[in-house]
Amino acid sequence: MDKLNIEIYIVVYMGKMKALLLTEGMHGMISQVEGMAKALNAVYSHKIVRLSFPWSLIPPKYTPISQIILKDKMYLTEDEAPDLIISCGRKSVIPSIILKKNNPKIFTIHIQNPKVNLKNFNLVIAPEHDNLNGDNVISSKGAIHYITESEINKEKYYLDNKIKSQKIVSLILGGPNKYYSFNSSQLIKIFNKVRSSFIEEGFKIIVIPSMRTPKSIIDLAIKEFKEDGYVLNSIDKQAYLSSFQIASYIIVTCDSTSMISEAATSGKPIFIAHMENKKNNYRFKKFYELFKTMGITRDLGEKVEIWNYKKFNEAERISSLINDKVKLWNL
């Protein structure tokens, strides 16, 4: 890199905010904090939070604000201190508060309901279906995420050698969580609906697993659709993005509001593949109803037809609301 390029790089870098991202390492959380950092045009680094026993099992409101709870202690010198901390998930709540306490100049943003006093953060971003209210709360319609329209367009041709058809449907698979068991019998019902609604109507399918998708479900999808399209057997972000671009329709399993929100960046018609819930999923239901009312989603099994909605990315909208607040804080 020559001197001119170095100087340009320094000017660009120094003109950006520095962000420290704190999560438990789950895809949905990483997607949310990275999405917010990107939308704020910040240079960021990511720290996976690990709590010591028994604090890893205890709600934040009963957890001491002390380094003793952390497996990996967190200290920031004046030079290392970021302009902002963006945290997401239960385990990241106390570490963010600790770092803020040690350096009050840091602007802190927590994504999701922290389940502690909201004044511990400069801003809290929570999904509308959480019904969280406060002077420093911004409500999001769906989940914040890291997918952008330009990234989707960039990977347009990535799957060209894997599937060729004018009629393609993408099936995005999640995985088990505390609300959905994601067992094989549930997936067989979904696969049968996909076959009757799309495959039998001449569509080719591309199946994209997530980090939470059990290998047994991937194997089941390969067995079911190996003659009808292409099933990825590993995690591939480029394929994930490309599937949004090349598909006429997108199907997402109901277990992930993050993946449904990510798919909405494409502007393509989205069908939600529902499963039986194993515990009260009222928050999911509110999310499904919101996206259906907004004209973004329908339920798998409904009539297959084209519908339109404005490409949807909450990170971009919310960043415009908070960018000036963050910059003023750091003056």
Which superfamily is assigned to 149-299 in CATH?
Answer: Glycogen Phosphorylase B; (3.40.50.2000)
Of 120, 107, 108, the closest CA to residue 331 belongs to 107
pLDDT at 4: 39
pLDDT at 95: 95
Given the candidates 2.60.60, 1.10.3470, 2.60.120, 3.40.50, the CATH classification of the domain at 3-146+316-329 is 3.40.50
Of 111, 104, 241, 74, the closest CA to residue 170 belongs to 241
How distant, in Å, are the alpha carbons of 31, 126, 133, 238 from that of 273? Answer: 21, 24, 31, 23
In angstroms, the CA 92 to CA 88 distance is 6
- Torsion sign, CA atoms 185, 191, 193, 195: negative
By the 8 A CB rule, do 69 and 55 touch?
A: yes
CA Rg value for the chain: 21
Of 147, 192, 141, the closest CA to residue 171 belongs to 192
**Residue 212 DSSP class:** T
**Residue 17 DSSP class:** P
Return residue ranges of the chain for CATH 3.40.50.2000: 149-299
Q: Which token pair is 222?
A: 């390969």
How distant, in Å, are the alpha carbons of 83, 197, 273 from that of 260? Answer: 31, 19, 10
pLDDT at 331: 54
Find the helix or strand (DSSP H, E) in which 110 lies: strand 107-111
The amino acid sitting at 151 is E
Q: Which positions of the chain have pLDDT values less than 70?
A: 1-15, 327-328, 330-331
